[in-house]
Structure 1
């Protein structure tokens, strides 16, 4: 007997066949008749020279800004709508293809985020002068990450690196970069660097994705984004507190120079000493003048001396307060330089005789060395 379906039955069977044959598809075409309905639903037609397919999805799923005429790849599930009798694709992701479509999508997203104020200069925060914990979002295998580590260790070896691995290109990269940024915001890092080396414009697209830009802008601590080269500006760089042209540039922006820091400490201590010495000398000279003045009455001299003594005390207190924060901050950082503190962090000091060895090239085969640890000293021989 011939099977006869109701309309609903046929739609259900057709969808079952579609789901079994094409559970997930990627289709490339040109966007036309693009619409957003009620701020929730997105619909458009995907076409080529001969055919048209209806596409729909939610604004939460389709975060890529679209415009008629853009060439895109749509990923989703084909289905037959029983209610409307139309064949369409339910969208799960969209990716612009071709330089023109990619640039147009970025321009649309930039305008949207700029209107929200995510790139405003008054949102940007100063970076800490002496960061002791630096968070880094990058790929562990990326050359950019290695460059960042090298420069940071050269300039500011006191810093501890808190690393959060992430893919730095591809479809999964935006999600991973966002997750790494959020994870570092749950720690006590002083600043976060988001870095990767150069690449094509398409390679850097993850750093211009809406989720990454919003995560950078929402960060609890200051963020420096250093990706690509000076010609490639990612949208996340516009949202960052500081933009760097490369990972090396990011490291130089974040870290102070150790040699300059040493000079600053010396200069601050000299300024403090000189300021106090000058104030004491000036006050002593004034007291001498009062004591030598024969025309002053004893009572008036006594009053002046008492006033001057009060002024001296107040001046010293002011000078000490002015320099307290400056010297105090430098002292705390100097404390980190104490070799014993460094050894407590798991490092070891290498000595050959009474000489501290800092470079591998200074050691030769069969040299006898001593490894100074936090709780003991061990003898070793270079093989």
Structure 2
């Protein structure tokens, strides 16, 4: 041990005291760290996660413990990014890492490089964790799922452009309804990064005028189907503007894509059967509907005809009813004539009365009895005092006007 420490590259000569080296704290920590790494270049630890902290940097800090001891651990962000599940407090795990000394605190710690959940596999844990989170957000709610259109005009398909899946879908579509357009968004359906390609394919199809979308791949292992158990694919399906049919794997396989989709089909061929209507069945349905409508209309017309016949028996003959109406019209006409004549006579009497009253106040009426009316400048002269000798006045008679000149004016006694 002393010889190995002596081989350390230190800036000054190591001092020995009573046969033992005198080191600075940093030298001691460095020496211990190197010895520990040489002794255990890597090791597996089994224990329970405690005191878990997820830093903003992406690193995980926690303590791994058992019934007797505990040790500090760190999982750096670059290694954590490779995990398909999230470490949780109290979880039993199997950890592979490198032991060492954290020099700032002189603390023993293990740098974790791999982390696996004990018992259930990592993929199963990741599946359950993501399911729980998405379920809490409402992505699996049944009340948000939409009906598949019965007669789509355009269908989008996100799948691999090669293999049996796309061939099966095209074959079913040609057999059931070749008149429906198909838009294919090719994508990888397994392997690292496939989930982002699948999500991008779903996004591209949103701008192709489709009415419904099929997300499909054939069967495989849990690892092969894993892209359809990821958050990017789940959120892409959830955000789709049109209904989505998930057809991933075999009937016994269940993926998160199936849980988010509006409809799950057991196989890609079954998805095509659900999305593409059978043209022959549609024609048969139309014919049957036409027949039902014809029978319903015929029955309705017969019921109306019977009702009219019953009403005809209850109602009087139209000719007799017309005679009653004519007689009533004649009576009304006669009554109107009498009323009009009475009103005219009453108005004529009133008019004669008014004419007589007007005649009584007509200023020209006395002229017919030999009287005259003097006017000067178009205005009547009512007093002799208003006249002066030599003034010309008009004398109005019943049959005309004569001019005269005033020779003299004689006023009655007491006249002003």
Question: Same fold per TM (> 0.5)?
Answer: yes
Alignment deviations for residues 12-41 of structure 1 (CA, whole Å, 9 cap, x no partner) = xxxxxxxxxxxxxxx998795573447884
Kept after mapping to 2: 8 A contact 1:46/1:55: no
Q: Could you tell me how far 1:241 is from its partner in structure 2?
A: 0.4
Kept after mapping to 2: 8 A contact 1:64/1:94: no
Partner of 1:204: 225
Q: Could you tell me how far 1:133 is from its partner in structure 2?
A: 0.7
SS, match of residue 204 in structure 1: helix
Kept after mapping to 2: 8 A contact 1:192/1:224: yes
Partner of 1:379: none
Partner of 1:43: 60
Q: Given the superposition, is the C-alpha separation of residues 73 and 142 from structure 1 closer, same or farther in structure 2, using an over 3 Å criterion?
A: farther
More displaced stretch, 200-209 vs 28-37: 28-37
- Tell me whether 1:108 sits opposite 2:125 in the alignment: no
Kept after mapping to 1: 8 A contact 2:54/2:61: no
Partner of 1:180: 201
Partner of 2:263: 242
Q: Given the superposition, is the C-alpha separation of residues 88 and 73 from structure 1 closer, same or farther in structure 2, using an over 3 Å criterion?
A: closer
Partner of 2:381: none
- Tell me whether 1:195 sits opposite 2:204 in the alignment: no
SS, match of residue 110 in structure 1: helix
Gaps of 5+ in 1: 5-26, 75-79, 303-383
TM-score (norm 2): 0.55
Distance 2:281 2:244 in 1: 24
Partner of 2:304: 283
Q: Given the superposition, is the C-alpha separation of residues 227 and 213 from structure 1 closer, same or farther in structure 2, using an over 3 Å criterion?
A: same
Choose which of 179, 183, 192 in structure 2 pairs with 1:171.
192
Partner of 1:54: 74
TM-score (norm 1): 0.59
Q: Could you tell me how far 1:277 is from its partner in structure 2?
A: 2.9
Partner of 1:217: 238
Greater CA radius of gyration, 1 or 2?
2
Q: Given the superposition, is the C-alpha separation of residues 96 and 228 from structure 1 closer, same or farther in structure 2, using an over 3 Å criterion?
A: farther
Distance 1:226 1:195 in 2: 5
Partner of 2:288: 267
Question: 1:1-383, aligned counterparts within 5 Å?
Answer: 32-33=49-50, 35-37=52-54, 41-44=58-61, 54-57=74-77, 64-67=85-88, 68-70=91-93, 100-291=121-312, 293=313, 296=316, 298=318
Partner of 2:352: none
Alignment deviations for residues 77-124 of structure 1 (CA, whole Å, 9 cap, x no partner) = xxx999889999899x99989962211221121112112221111111
Kept after mapping to 2: 8 A contact 1:192/1:221: yes
Distance 2:162 2:55 in 1: 45
Q: Given the superposition, is the C-alpha separation of residues 186 and 64 from structure 1 closer, same or farther in structure 2, using an over 3 Å criterion?
A: farther
Alignment deviations for residues 189-237 of structure 1 (CA, whole Å, 9 cap, x no partner) = 1011000011111111110111111211221111011111122100110
Partner of 1:333: none
RMSD of aligned C-alpha atoms?
A: 4.2
Kept after mapping to 2: 8 A contact 1:148/1:251: yes
Q: Could you tell me how far 1:45 is from its partner in structure 2?
A: 6.4
SS, match of residue 203 in structure 1: helix
Distance 2:184 2:140 in 1: 26
Distance 1:71 1:41 in 2: 20
Distance 1:43 1:53 in 2: 8
**Structure 1 stretches of at least 4 aligned residues deviating more than 6 Å after TM superposition:** 27-31, 80-91, 93-99, 299-302
Q: Could you tell me how far 1:137 is from its partner in structure 2?
A: 0.7
Aligned length: 271
Q: Could you tell me how far 1:57 is from its partner in structure 2?
A: 2.8
Q: Given the superposition, is the C-alpha separation of residues 85 and 66 from structure 1 closer, same or farther in structure 2, using an over 3 Å criterion?
A: same
Kept after mapping to 2: 8 A contact 1:71/1:101: no
Q: Could you tell me how far 1:164 is from its partner in structure 2?
A: 0.6
Kept after mapping to 2: 8 A contact 1:34/1:66: no
Kept after mapping to 1: 8 A contact 2:245/2:271: yes
Distance 2:118 2:92 in 1: 12
Kept after mapping to 1: 8 A contact 2:206/2:240: yes
Distance 1:55 1:198 in 2: 34
Gaps of 5+ in 2: 1-8, 12-42, 65-70, 323-416
